[in-house]
Amino acid sequence: MNRLFRRLREATGILAGAFCATVGTFTSAPAQMPVDIELVLALDCSYSVDSEEFSLQVLGLSDAFRSPEVIRAIADGQFGRIGVSVIQWSNYQSQEQAIGWSLVTGQDSAIALSARIANMPRVTAEGATSISGALAAALDAFQRSPFSGSRRVIDVSGDGRNNSGPELAILRAQVLAQNITINGLAILNDVPTLDYYYRQQLIGGPAAFVIPANDYDDYVRAIRLKLLKEIRSFPISDSGDDETDDLAYLLSRPHMPPAQ
């Protein structure tokens, strides 16, 4: 009988040890990979954006990640890598993470992300313009990020003012409270003063800025300059003019051949 009790105690101890090891396995969170920036790219897919304009956003963003200057800016960072996610947004109920978190470490991974963006379908239902919804979706994306960024940035592209969901000021305050920067790319074809609205109502956080695009054709130029400004960790000049600053940056870098 005593031997039976001893064996039961031994078996119980083994099971308890196994249980603790299992619990430890499930409760120990994996370490997040450090990156220079966690960047959420939020693209406007509301009613005001037709299929051609959506395609121009996709083309511009895809081309930007093939740009030698953007690839060089990524390599110049402390870690030489960034984390990127793409969100499509329209009304407050319609935001989708179209491309999950992706690690970009150099030319090969940048071109791979470029190809994914180029083939990205429109997955968000058309609706009103909820910039506040875009910020809420970006916050959710950061909660699920596998990366730990030295900086966290939401890059909002759009052609209209917030007209759906909570007040923009509420979501903006929530984002800024988490030390996340909000930048804007204002497309001016429908609202010529949208860049002023973005400056006053949307952007915030360390080194926040707005870049205007005259229309969707101009988006291709604007998004490349915007990515350069966001990815690099320090300004090359401080002229106050976006294009002058970015030109100074480009001229300061060695020439790179176009990505194939």
157-215 per-position pLDDT tens digit: 999 999 999 999 999 999 999 999 999 999 999 999 999 999 999 999 999 999 999 99
φ, ψ of residue 44 in degrees (nearest 5) = -70, 125
In the block, residue with structure tokens 């996709």: 58
Locate tokens 């058309």: which residue? 126
Distance from C-alpha of 76 to C-alpha of 36, rounded to nearest angstrom: 10
Distance in angstroms (rounded) separating the CA atoms of residues 116 and 245:
30
- Look up residue 130 and give its two tokens: 């909820």
**Rounded CA separation 141/249 (Å):** 30
Flag whether pLDDT at 67 surpasses 90: yes
Running DSSP on this structure, what letter comes out for residue 202?
A: I
CATH number of 33-252: 3.40.50.410
Residue with tokens 């690690």: 103
Whole-angstrom Cα distance, residue 178 to residue 186?
24
pLDDT at res. 214? 95
Nearest by Cα to 203 from 232, 227, 172, 230: 172
Confidence band for 124, pLDDT divided at 50, 70 and 90: confident
Average pLDDT for residues 139-157, to the nearest whole number? 97
Q: Residue 60: phi, psi to the nearest 5?
A: -65, -45
Q: Give me the phi and psi of 181, to 5 degrees please.
A: -85, 140
Rounded to an integer, what distance in angstroms lies between the CA atom of residue 155 and that of residue 132? 13
206: left (phi over 0), alpha (psi -120 to 50) or beta: beta
Instruction: Report the sign of the C-alpha dihedral through residues 170, 94, 212, 75, in that order.
Output: positive
pLDDT at 199: 97
Q: pLDDT grade, residue 22 (50/70/90)?
A: very low
Mean pLDDT confidence for 124-149: 95
pTM confidence score:
0.80
- Give percent of the chain with pLDDT exceeding 90: 73
